[in-house]
Chains A and B, each alone.
Chain A
């Protein structure tokens, strides 16, 4: 018995030992496992926090506006520029991003900016105006005049991946206004600077505060926990995840300072959504909602953003303005109670409206067609991941003013054309491009009437027949042979039949179905007569015309058939801008570009896109054709555009219409800008507008609003002007009544006097004299 009793007690003790041993072993194993887990989390945190913490989309900037004495600019225009950049009109300069506007003087505190070539610090300037120009720029701090300054460039978009569209603009803690930093802590985590990552006191205090308010006004998670949650964890809510969050929060605090954690939080937090693009961090949030950098936020704006932290969808100020305002005012109360603002500031702030930037504001893809062009230009030079992850800064050539003119005039123009013709609403489409003549910069681009939405980019991807836009290149090919052609060369306008290779014949007709008798070349161009163009084309050969087109910038592969002479050539508006830009620059082609430079996110230069010039077309014939294109507007199919011609100048351009009125084009230029407009239907159905009645109407408004500068038409050295008798095309003098001053390639002007000329009587002698002169 005793033995068995002993035995049984032994076995109990044994069991206890066994249990204890198991417990110890399992605890140690558990501890071992746990510590292994902690080490693993620690590794995860340190990997994630070291180096670059976020994939930073490339930031795309518009061209910076240069201000300099002599620049044609009115005070109202400068104010518009400043407003566009989110500068605030105020009674006194209070800091960067503010301005004081007087009638002939604007004081402005310009935000510093690191351009690729130089850093421009914050500046306080007085800009004085006289006669619609900048008369002087005074540096108010240095007390000295300045020759030239730049405004900070507008952020116009970012390049983020399609799948995971997280967008952000990084801020440094020292750039964040103290009220944002302290206010955020007051609202989200009052014990932030005391706790070790998790806060028992915080939980108690939040519970009390919520109890007092009768609803949830404070969360119990610390800022560190929230950061961990956003940074490392999925959104599921269970105890295991809570535990992991707590461990990671403690680890994060062990490795990093409070300021580092706060800075990461400021950049990580989700503040809004636009389509598939997620707005993260206060840097982008500030631009997204208020179109300005974070350091310029005022109390009520800071309170709004801090309020959004609680729930970016629930408190979305654009969708739920009332709820968002109530939240903002509550946050302002917390600011006041925490002593961050006084009672007066509180009352002033709650009296403010939400003050959101118009539209989607800020760095949102305002100009999708343009940003699309930028992306295409970057393709091949940068990997997609470089563009979406490295925070590159891309400085484009976009001119926001030109872009706004193009958008407004195209959209309202086609809407009113539809109304005038009683067409079904939204059936017409339009696209347009504006470029600089000598620099080859793409200043503006619209890819369709819904220009705010990325979609089919007609300015680049829609290749349509260019119709009569081809004619200048047919005649240019002819004029390159000055022994045979000049601007007054007569071209027959009688019915014509052209044999084709397939045994058929082609019988082109004029647009008005009439024949006008022999036409001087420049009038055939001005009135866009088809038959004289075909005659000239046949004489010079279709291959040569295609060569001219290619030299000008055409990249397609049109078949060498006679219908090329009338524009059976497909091109996009952008390509037409390149071709007409080559004409506008007197044959010196500048390759079109939308980018000036690319830098790293720190501002170190990576790549520059210098001007590339090539003499593509001979200068003298190009001058002649440009003169001819001024006559298209002066007396031809584009007379409507005379309304846009500046006093004492000239504009040049050409209408284009395709069969059955499917495409309506106008391409034209002044001294400094080329503008191309296309109008038509996406389904290729006829829409009832010619180049003159459609695209030209839109173009004329654009030319007026851009204030296109007139061409100076100074003839190059190998061009001579010659008074010419309109009837005979011979040399004229004061004896002739109907004359035209025509440019000729030097040495190829008519030497024989017309019968009307006074000099004609002495003809034999004159002829002799001229031969010897």
Chain B
């Protein structure tokens, strides 16, 4: 589109939007994003941490990263470190039972207890991370990687959980014979550990 055409287009849109504005669409609603208050039982990330402005990223991730997650800023991250900090008592109790089942080698039972916890708090990234661990125990490597990635996605920058998840991903990739993928995951692990050590 040439410059004149663009101007015409912009003008036309302007008209439409002005008219739309007169017809009281929801301009204010848009400028204030939906209340990010999570629903009950959902995970509440520490305020003001994610995402970082690009200018403050201290170390760029290696170029071929499959998961473009921003590394945190260098000072001690104030994310919840354990499930009990963000979960209701029912979920904490189920996660404890699952940990016992897992320790006893009862993987199916552990998975079902975690799935029950997931139904109560569907976006609790600690629960998903623990489930990824069970899948790793069960040598279901694809599932371990997918579920750990999902946990990473929900964790919204919580490095403590991400560390666990990358460990699971690295181990699963290694077991699958994907040594390059495992190395990349290990790079994320090293990176996060440096962050945590630096704090």
Residues of A within 8 A of B (CB): 66, 68-72, 116-117, 147-148, 436-439, 441, 490, 492, 516-520, 585-586, 588, 596-597, 605, 608, 610-615, 619, 630-631, 634-635, 648-650, 671-672, 709-721, 723, 726-728, 738-741, 746-747, 773
Which of chain A's residues have a CB closer than 8 A to the CB of B94? Answer: 148
Which of chain A's residues have a CB closer than 8 A to the CB of B17? Answer: 726-727, 738
CA distance A649 to B34 in the complex (A): 6
17 contacts between A and B (CB under 8 A): A68-B89, A69-B88, A147-B92, A147-B93, A517-B15, A588-B149, A610-B143, A611-B131, A615-B150, A671-B122, A712-B38, A712-B42, A714-B38, A718-B70, A726-B13, A727-B17, A739-B31
CA distance A619 to B68 in the complex (A): 10
Q: Could you tell me the distance in whole angstroms from the C-beta of A232 to the nearest C-beta in chain B?
A: 42
Residues of B within 8 A of A (CB): 9-10, 12-18, 21, 25-27, 29-42, 45, 50-51, 54-55, 68-70, 88-90, 92-94, 108-109, 111-113, 115-116, 118-120, 122-123, 131, 142-143, 146-147, 149-150, 153, 156-157
Q: Could you tell me the distance in whole angstroms from the C-beta of B185 to the nearest C-beta in chain A?
A: 15
CA distance A194 to B54 in the complex (A): 91
What's the A-B contact tally at a CB cutoff of 8 Å? 172
Which of chain A's residues have a CB closer than 8 A to the CB of B54? Answer: 720, 746-747, 773
Which of chain A's residues have a CB closer than 8 A to the CB of B13? Answer: 490, 517-520, 726-727
Query: In the complex the two chains form, is B143's CB within 8 Å of A612's CB?
Result: yes
Query: In the complex the two chains form, is A740's CB within 8 Å of B31's CB?
Result: yes
CA distance A365 to B93 in the complex (A): 35
Which of chain A's residues have a CB closer than 8 A to the CB of B108? Answer: 605, 608
CA distance A385 to B118 in the complex (A): 34
Given contacts A634-B29, A726-B27, A741-B31, 12 further A-B contacts (CB under 8 A): A66-B116, A70-B41, A147-B89, A148-B90, A436-B122, A439-B118, A518-B9, A613-B150, A635-B25, A648-B37, A672-B39, A747-B54
Query: In the complex the two chains form, is B12's CB within 8 Å of A671's CB?
Result: no
Partner of B12, one of A438, A517, A608, A611: A517
CA distance A66 to B93 in the complex (A): 13
Q: Could you tell me the distance in whole angstroms from the C-beta of A773 to the nearest C-beta in chain B?
A: 4
Query: In the complex the two chains form, is B90's CB within 8 Å of A117's CB?
Result: no
Query: In the complex the two chains form, is B90's CB within 8 Å of A69's CB?
Result: yes
Query: In the complex the two chains form, is A490's CB within 8 Å of B14's CB?
Result: no
Chain B, Cβ-Cβ closest to A137: B90
Which of chain B's residues have a CB closer than 8 A to the CB of A614? Answer: 142, 146
Q: Could you tell me the distance in whole angstroms from the C-beta of A61 to the nearest C-beta in chain B?
A: 15
Which of chain A's residues have a CB closer than 8 A to the CB of B156? Answer: 714, 716-717
Which of chain A's residues have a CB closer than 8 A to the CB of B16? Answer: 516-517
Query: In the complex the two chains form, is B122's CB within 8 Å of A672's CB?
Result: yes
Which of chain A's residues have a CB closer than 8 A to the CB of B149? Answer: 588, 615
Query: In the complex the two chains form, is B34's CB within 8 Å of A69's CB?
Result: no
Partner of A70, one of B10, B89, B119, B123: B89
Query: In the complex the two chains form, is A611's CB within 8 Å of B29's CB?
Result: no
CA distance A70 to B113 in the complex (A): 18
Query: In the complex the two chains form, is A611's CB within 8 Å of B68's CB?
Result: no
Query: In the complex the two chains form, is A718's CB within 8 Å of B93's CB?
Result: no
Which of chain B's residues have a CB closer than 8 A to the CB of A611? Answer: 115, 118, 131, 147
Chain B, Cβ-Cβ closest to A115: B112
CA distance A712 to B154 in the complex (A): 12
Query: In the complex the two chains form, is B51's CB within 8 Å of A720's CB?
Result: yes
Query: In the complex the two chains form, is A649's CB within 8 Å of B21's CB?
Result: no
CA distance A635 to B29 in the complex (A): 10
